[in-house]
Amino acid sequence: MLYPQANAARTVIDLSGVWDFRLRENAPWKSIAVPASYNDQCPDAAFRDYAGISWYRRKLTIPAVLKGQRLVLRFDAVAHNARVLLNGREIARHRGGFLPFEVELNGLLAPGETAELAVEVDNRINHSTLPIGAEGATAFFGSDNPGIPSVEAGKRIQTEKGINRPAFDFFNYTGINRPVRLYATPRAYIRDVTLAPALNGEVRYWVDTEGEGQIRVTILDAEGRAVAESAGAEGTLRVPEPHLWEPYPGTPYLYTARVAFGDDLYEEPFGIREVKIEGTKFYINGKPFYFHGPCKHEDSPFHGRGMDQCLNVTDIHLYHWLHANCFRTSHYPYAEEMYRLCDREGIVIVDETPAVGMWADEHYGWDLHDYHAQVLRDMIARDKNHPCVVVWSLGNEPSTDVYPDKAWDYWRPLYEKAHLWDPQNRPVTLVGCQNIYEKDRIVPSMDIVFINRYYGWYNLSGDLETAQYAFRMELDWWEKQGKPVVLSEYGADTLAGMHSATAEMFTEEFQLEFYRAMSECLDERDFIAGEMPWNFADFATCQGPMRPGGNRKGLFTRDRKPKLAAHYFKDRWAKRE
């Protein structure tokens, strides 16, 4: 799906602002900012913990000057399920909180007219949503109060709070989290543009259109000069002496594919780069690429999971400060603005579906596969042209070792589909949980192996010497698999400002020693293709005995102040450049 673009042929009207909001039916309407999660905008536990349907509304006027145009209302992400109503009549529904959806308004509202736009959001999570909500005794933290006699064994207390326990470790931020826009195109329009560039400057392209017209594709260099041209809905363009898109600290050179179709126009930025795996090495443009950068969340005070350009830019400048070159969009596809920024800034992305929380063994019995495949397909369709995206991640930490064959049957078709659906055929991974790795079939079968490990934290807690011993034992096993392996999560909760002369868990010194110990193990092995500490910054999650004020494994605090370990990685990664 194309990102909304204002240009000589298209108009975009941003509907960000203060909307009316009510938490539940018959509650008073309140002011709420869009885009943003609603949870932290009101100092009321009901807002924070609510599980159910809520309502947004505002007036929508179509400017009269848009007469004759195709009119589209686009939601970049509404968490988790949405119904859109115009003057009380349903015009769209969408399942899933992290990908865009849109609806044509022609025939529903004419230019010059005003209507009430309402959005119903449902934030309930369960076994049919991605991410997964806990339906049995499988919530992320603590037990489900098995000591309470009125509760049927294995079932939870059915309160508003109780029915929405995440099976994942990040706050279930809810609402219109990303921009809402009205955009207009000519009636005959460009529906999609797909690009597959190669190192020699050949760019295969496909343009999907609606209506009558001639298609012309022109490639512009970074200075706006036309360097290649072609006609027709598909073909191959040839960029002479191509400048490559290189990850930071190289130059992330961007070209633009300008597509003209009748009166319509769309300009898609893209980069010429090649991603390849050979043996245990991951290559970008023929050069070995070592992933080094912390995983992230979309998370900040006030906004929750709301899209915030200033925060994104600040974070990416902090990545440069760290000499980091990548992150994983743990644990869901991020806002499109972030990928566009990373294209410009040369930060590499591992793009992940919201399949997180599938760690209960019984999840292979749930009816999720088709929906999961659809989300994967939509994510690839949205992000396929970004040079910054170099790997697709099918999901995070499912159960893969207890029923290795069932896990294979579930994940392997998704792996194959990701390859099939991606015009650039990027490598695919599934992020593995700490487990009995010798029994796991699916995680080691991926193009590049991503493993999350918490030796020294959740197991062998505080004992870094034994943690190193155990981690080395495991690395001996991976060495024999002949694949590139990325340590895709490792970390220690750390309360900024808490210190001890001899490293002790939760202090800044311990976090530093923890990372030093793990670095020693990684640096000994040639097949290690990357290190991605957990997490870039402290982030909000559900309350629990292990989460004082959220998950505190950040290299930075939630307000982006560096802890000792941030300085450690800044020095370590500077040496990699």
Among 255, 437, 471, 534, binds ligand BDP (CB under 6 A): 534
- Contacts with ligand BDP, 349-388, as mask; x by CB under 6 A: ----------------------------------------
Distance in Å, CB of 393 to ligand BDP, minimum: 11
Query: Is residue 452 left, alpha or beta, with left meaning phi > 0 and alpha meaning psi from -120 to 50?
Result: beta
In the complex, the smallest distance separating the C-beta of residue 397 from ligand BDP, rounded to whole angstroms, is 5
The nearer residue to ligand BDP, 311 or 532, going by C-beta atoms, is 532
Amino acid at 364: Y
| Smallest separation, CB 296 to ligand BDP (Å) | 11
Residue 40 sits in the site that holds ligand BDP (CB under 6 A): no
Residues ≥6 apart with Cβ < 8 Å to 220: 226, 227, 255, 256, 258, 267
d(CA 67, CA 274): 44
Site string for ligand BDP, 317-356 (x = CB under 6 A): --------------x-------------------------
329, 296 contact by CB (below 8 A): yes
Q: Which is nearer to ligand BDP, 41 or 129 (CB)?
A: 129
Tell me how far, at minimum, the Cβ of 489 lies from ligand BDP, in Å. 5
214-225 per-residue burial string, b: 16 or more CB within 10 A, e: under 16: ebebbbbbeeee
Interface with ligand BDP (CB under 6 A), residue from 258, 382, 553, 563: 553
Provide, rounded to whole angstroms, the least separation between the CB of residue 303 and ligand BDP.
19
Tell me the closest approach of the beta carbon of residue 457 to ligand BDP, in angstroms: 8
Other Cβ atoms within 10 Å of 304 Cβ, number: 24
Q: Which is nearer to ligand BDP, 96 or 398 (CB)?
A: 398
CB 189 within 8 A of CB 70: yes
Closest-by-Cβ residue to ligand BDP is 169
Distances (CA, A) of 99 to 269, 310, 418, 549: 20, 21, 17, 28
238/547 with CB nearer ligand BDP:
547
Query: What's the N-to-C CA distance of the chain in angstroms?
Result: 36
User: Among 489, 508, 509, 513, which one carries the catalytic annotation?
Assistant: 489
- Spatial separation of the C-alpha atoms in residues 98 and 335, rounded to whole Å: 8
CA proximity to 494, closest of 543, 448, 539, 555: 555
Q: Which two tokens stand for residue 486?
A: 């990325």
* Beta strands, E only, 53-132: 53-61, 70-75, 78-79, 81-86, 89-95, 101-104, 114-122
**Least distance in Å: CB of 171 to ligand BDP?**
11
400 binds ligand BDP (CB under 6 A): no
* Contact characters 471-490, ligand BDP, x per CB under 6 A: ------------------x-
Would you call 397 a catalytic residue per the annotation?
yes
Dig out the tokens for 489 from the structure: 């999560």
Could you give the CA distance from residue 453 to residue 518 in angstroms, rounded to a whole number? 10
φ and ψ at 166, to 5 degrees?
-70, 145
Figure out which of the listed residues 393, 494, 511, 551 binds ligand BDP, where binding follows CB under 6 A: 551
User: Which residues ranging from 487 to 506 are in contact with ligand BDP (CB under 6 A)?
Assistant: 489
With respect to ligand BDP, which residue has the nearer C-beta, 331 or 382?
331
Which residue is listed with tokens 């363009």?
237
* Residue with tokens 């049957």, as numbered in its chain: 409
Q: Which is nearer to ligand BDP, 181 or 331 (CB)?
A: 331
- What 3-state DSSP class applies to 230? strand
DSSP H/E element including 311? helix 309-322
Active site residue 479: no
**280 in contact with ligand BDP (CB under 6 A):** no
Which residue number, 174 or 330, has a Cβ lying nearer to ligand BDP? 330
452 binds ligand BDP (CB under 6 A): yes
Please identify which residue in the block is written with the tokens 């603590």. Answer: 142
* Residues within window 130-159 making contact with ligand BDP, judged by CB under 6 A: none
- C-alpha distances out from residue 449 to 198, 273, 479, Å: 25, 22, 11
Q: How far is the CB of 552 from ligand BDP (least distance, A)?
A: 9
For residues 362-391, one letter each, b for 16 or more C-beta atoms within 10 angstroms of the residue's C-beta and e for the rest, the string is ebbeeebeeebbebbbbbbbbbbbbbbbbb
Rounded to 5 degrees, what are φ and ψ at 532? -130, 90
When asked if residue 397 is in the footprint of ligand BDP (CB under 6 A), the reply is yes
Q: Quote the least distance from Cβ 498 to ligand BDP, whole Å.
A: 17
Q: Which of 397, 508, 513, 531 is catalytic?
A: 397
Beta carbon nearer to ligand BDP, 210 or 361: 361
Please name the amino acid found at residue 538: D
Residue 179 or 456: the one with the smaller Cβ distance to ligand BDP is: 456
Number of residues that bind ligand BDP (CB under 6 A): 9
Among residues 169, 351, 401, 440, which is the contact residue for ligand BDP, using CB under 6 A? 169
Interface residues toward ligand BDP, by CB under 6 A: 169, 331, 396-397, 452, 489, 534, 551, 553
Residues assigned a catalytic role:
397, 489
